[in-house]
Amino acid sequence: MSGLRILLSEAEIAARVEALAGEITQTIPGDFVMVGLLKGAAVFVADLARALDRAGARPEIEFMRLSSYGLAKVSSGDVRLLGDAPSRLKGRRVLLIDDIVDTGRSIAFAAALLRERGIGGLWTCALLDKPQRREVEAPIDFVGFRIEDVFVAGYGIDHAEKYRHLPYIGVVD
Ligand code: IMP
Ligand code: MG
C-alpha cells in the first residue's frame, strides 16, 4: 500500500498555497527569484510558482541541493551543499523555499550561503514548520502550516525516497 494517514489533504494544501502566494506578492516588492531546496521542495515550488502567477507575480525559478537525511528520520546535523544555485543571483531578491523546517539547520545554511553572495534581499518560505524541533535560529517569513513533532511524507516530502508522489501529506508511523 502506498497510503499514509492523512494530515493535510490535497484540497487543504491547495488552498493554503493560494493564500501564501497572496501574502508573498503583497510583501516582496517587484521581481524576485524562487530558490527551492531539492528534492523535497520541488512539488511545493511547482504549485507555488503557478499560484504566484495567478497572484500577479512573475518569479524566476532556481534550485539548490543540500545533503539529505538519507534513510534516517532524524537529521545528522551535518548540512552539505550538493548542488549550487547560479551565481547570477547577485543583487536579486530571493525567496528561499523548503518543504519543512525542522532543526532549522538546512534553511539557515542555505540562507547564509545566499547572503554571502550579495543577493539583493532574502525572504524564507516553508510549507511546514515544526517549531518545537528548532535548534538554530531560522526566521521563516512565510509558513504554510505549523505542525506537531511528527514525521511526515507526501507532496514532495520523502521517507527513504518513498511517498514524494503522494498528492497529500501524511504521517509516517
Ligand atoms: P532541518 O535542517 O533539521 O530543519 O531539516 C529540514 C529538512 O529535513 C527538510 O528539508 C526535510 O527534507 C527534512 N525533514 C524534516 N522533517 C521531516 C519529516 O517529517 N519528513 C521528511 N523529511 C523531513
Ligand atoms: Mg529537504
**Ligand 1 lined by 129 (C-beta under 6 Å):** no
Within the chain, strands assigned E span 5-8, 33-38, 60-66, 81-83, 93-101, 121-129, 142-146, 152-153, 169-171
Ligand nearest to the CA of 164: 1
Pick the atom of ligand 1 nearest to 98's CA. 10
Q: From first to last of its 173 residues, what are the pLDDT tens digits of the chain? A: 557 999 999 999 999 999 999 999 999 989 999 999 999 999 999 999 999 999 999 999 999 998 765 666 666 677 877 777 777 899 999 999 999 999 999 999 999 999 998 999 999 999 999 999 999 999 999 999 999 999 999 999 999 999 999 999 999 98
User: What count of other Cβ atoms lies within 10 Å of the Cβ of residue 156?
Assistant: 24
Find the 40 Cα to ligand 1 centroid distance in Å.
Answer: 8
Determine which one of 98, 102, 129, 158 is catalytic.
102
| CB of residue 67 inside a 6 A radius of ligand 1 | no
In this predicted model, what pLDDT tens digit does every residue of 81-105 receive, in sequence order? 777 777 789 999 999 999 999 999 9
**What is residue 68's predicted lDDT score, i.e. its pLDDT?**
64
pLDDT reported for residue 81 = 79
Task: Give the pLDDT score at 72.
Answer: 65
The verdict on whether 173 is a catalytic residue reads: no
CB within 8 A of 32, min separation 6: which ones?
A: 57, 59, 60, 92, 93, 94, 95, 121, 123
**Cell, residue 49:** 510558482
Going from the C-alpha of 122 to that of each of 1, 110, 126, 139, 144, the distances in angstroms are: 41, 11, 14, 11, 18
Q: How many angstroms from the chain centroid is the CA of residue 86?
A: 18
Distance 38 CA to ligand 2 centre (A): 6
